[in-house]
């Protein structure tokens, strides 16, 4: 179950960045190729309207950013200032790390709730009422995006979903840390294809790994 969520998260953000790239690429190609006087083709190109591409790209990246931030918690990509914490004795270090993670839980939880409330007020309430025929007072139709004419509350839905997912990931991290003392660790220094043998016998020094990472799987 967890595995599916993990894969889905990865799939969504990869697809979003890939598609956004293609969308902008096609939009630019279209802009210049429709200026070429090729009979037939030009008329056809001019009938296609690509003005929505920028807007779509922005929304895709906003969604990517929210899901990607949650994925980032899982793989430990969010950087903090750990200079002080590293100097502390083990007991206090653990306490501080827990406080840090709880800060994440708190913030994403609050933002998720605020976001959900906001989305509800800005059009979801009206949409739900219309869809199911509820007779609620003061129904106001939410705003619509300028080019794609999407309902904005659908776009804003990224905030509560993303934040709650992120909150969940922070909780997951907390549980793992308390149980095993391991944190997800994004090794920025890791590079594919570096041949370890090249360095054999040079001086035997290895990049240092944080103390709390000893005995944790990569």
Of residues 75 through 104, those in contact with another protein by CB under 8 A are: 75, 77-85, 96-97, 99-101, 103-104
Give the residue, chosen from 68, 126, 153, 184, that forms a contact with another protein under the rule CB under 8 A.
68
CB of residue 3 vs another protein: minimum separation in angstroms? 16
Q: Is 16 exposed, middle or buried (0-12, 13-18, 19+ CB in 10 A)?
A: buried
CB of residue 177 vs another protein: minimum separation in angstroms? 12
Helix, strand, or coil (residue 161): helix
**Contact, 123 vs 151, CB < 8 A?**
yes
Question: What's the distance, CA 52 to chain centroid?
Answer: 23
Give the separation between CA 217 and CA 182, rounded to whole angstroms.
8
Whichever of 135 and 200 has its CB closer to another protein, that residue is: 200
Give the separation between CA 23 and CA 203, rounded to whole angstroms.
49
CB of residue 151 vs another protein: minimum separation in angstroms? 14
* 206 touches another protein by CB under 8 A: yes
With CB under 8 A as the rule, give the number of residues binding another protein: 76
Whichever of 126 and 167 has its CB closer to another protein, that residue is: 167
Give the separation between CA 119 and CA 197, rounded to whole angstroms.
55
End-to-end alpha carbon distance in the chain:
21
* 181 touches another protein by CB under 8 A: no
CB of residue 53 vs another protein: minimum separation in angstroms? 10
CB of residue 129 vs another protein: minimum separation in angstroms? 21
Question: Which residues in the 121-150 window bind another protein by CB under 8 A?
Answer: none
Question: Which residues in the 159-178 window bind another protein by CB under 8 A?
Answer: 159
CB of residue 98 vs another protein: minimum separation in angstroms? 10
* 50 touches another protein by CB under 8 A: no
Burial 161-186 (b: 16+ CB within 10 A, else e): bbbbbbbbbbbebbeebeeebebbbe
């Amino acid at each position: 179950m967890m595995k599916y969520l993990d894969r889905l998260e990865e799939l969504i953000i990869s697809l979003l960045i890939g598609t956004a790239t293609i969308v902008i690429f096609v939009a630019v190609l279209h802009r210049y190729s429709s200026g070429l006087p090729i009979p037939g083709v030009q008329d056809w190109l001019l009938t296609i309207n690509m003005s929505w591409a920028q807007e779509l790209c922005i929304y895709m990246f906003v969604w990517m950013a929210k899901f990607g931030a949650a994925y980032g918690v899982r793989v430990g990509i969010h950087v903090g200032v750990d200079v002080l914490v590293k100097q502390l004795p083990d007991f206090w270090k653990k306490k501080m790390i827990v406080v840090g993670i709880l800060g994440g839980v708190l913030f994403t939880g609050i933002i998720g709730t605020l976001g959900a409330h906001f989305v509800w007020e800005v059009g979801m309430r009206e949409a739900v009422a219309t869809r199911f025929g509820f007779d609620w007072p003061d129904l106001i139709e939410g705003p619509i995006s300028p080019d794609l004419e999407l309902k904005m509350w659908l776009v804003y839905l990224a905030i509560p979903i993303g934040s709650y997912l992120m909150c969940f990931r922070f909780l997951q991290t907390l549980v793992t840390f308390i149980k095993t003392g391991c944190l997800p660790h994004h090794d920025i220094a890791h590079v594919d294809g570096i041949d370890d043998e090249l360095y054999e016998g040079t001086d035997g020094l290895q990049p240092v790994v944080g103390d709390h990472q000893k005995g944790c799987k990569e």
